[in-house]
Amino acid sequence: MPDARICIVGGGAAGTAAALRGARLGAEVLLVERDDLGGAWARCGAAPGAAVTAALRHGVPPPWPELREAARAAGADLRGRLAADLADHGVTVLAGDATLLGPGTVAVDTGGDRVEVNAPTLVLAPGSEPARPAGLDFRDPRVIDASQLMALPELPRRAVVVGGGPIAIGLADTLAGLGVRVVLAVPGEAPLADEEPRAVAALVAGLSACGVQVVTGAALEGAEPDGGQLRVRLGNGTIHPADLVVAAAGRVPAVGELDLAAAGVDADGEGFVTVDEHMHTGSADIYAVGDLLRGPAMSHLARAQGERAVEHALGAGRRRDLGTVPRVVWGRTALAAVGLTARRAESLGRDVDVVANAPGAAVTAGRPSLALLTVDRASGLVLGVSAVGDGAAELIAGVALPISWGCTAAELATVVPPGPGLAESLAEAAERAA
| pLDDT at residue 366, rounded to an integer | 53
Pick the closest to residue 20 from 397, 304, 325, 320 (CA basis).
Answer: 304
| Residues 97-130 pLDDT 10s | 999 999 999 999 988 889 999 999 999 999 999 8
CATH code where residue 261 lies: 3.50.50.60
Cα(310)–Cα(305) distance, rounded to whole angstroms? 9
Pick the closest to residue 244 from 172, 331, 192 (CA basis).
Answer: 172
138 in any annotated domain = no
Q: Are residues 227 and 261 in the same domain?
A: no
| pLDDT at residue 45, rounded to an integer | 81
DSSP 103-165: TTEEEEE-SS-EEEEE-SEEEE---EEE---TT--TTSTTEEEGGGGGG-SS--SEEEEE-SS
Domain of 371, in residue numbers: 334-433
Among 322, 349, 373, identify where a domain stops: 322
Q: Are residues 260 and 125 in the same domain?
A: yes
Among 228, 249, 270, identify where a domain stops: 249
Among 249, 277, 309, identify where a domain stops: 249
| Residues 268-280 pLDDT 10s | 988 999 999 999 9
Q: Are residues 282 and 382 in the same domain?
A: no
Q: Are residues 123 and 262 in the same domain?
A: yes
Q: Are residues 75 and 57 in the same domain?
A: yes
**Which residue ranges in the chain fall short of pLDDT 50?**
1, 362-365
Listed in sequence order, the DSSP H helices in 197-352 are 197-209, 299-313, 342-347
195 in any annotated domain = yes
Q: Are residues 172 and 235 in the same domain?
A: yes
Cα(147)–Cα(155) distance, rounded to whole angstroms? 15
Mean pLDDT of the chain: 91
Q: Are residues 119 and 166 in the same domain?
A: no
Decide if 91 contacts 4 (C-beta within 8 A). Answer: no
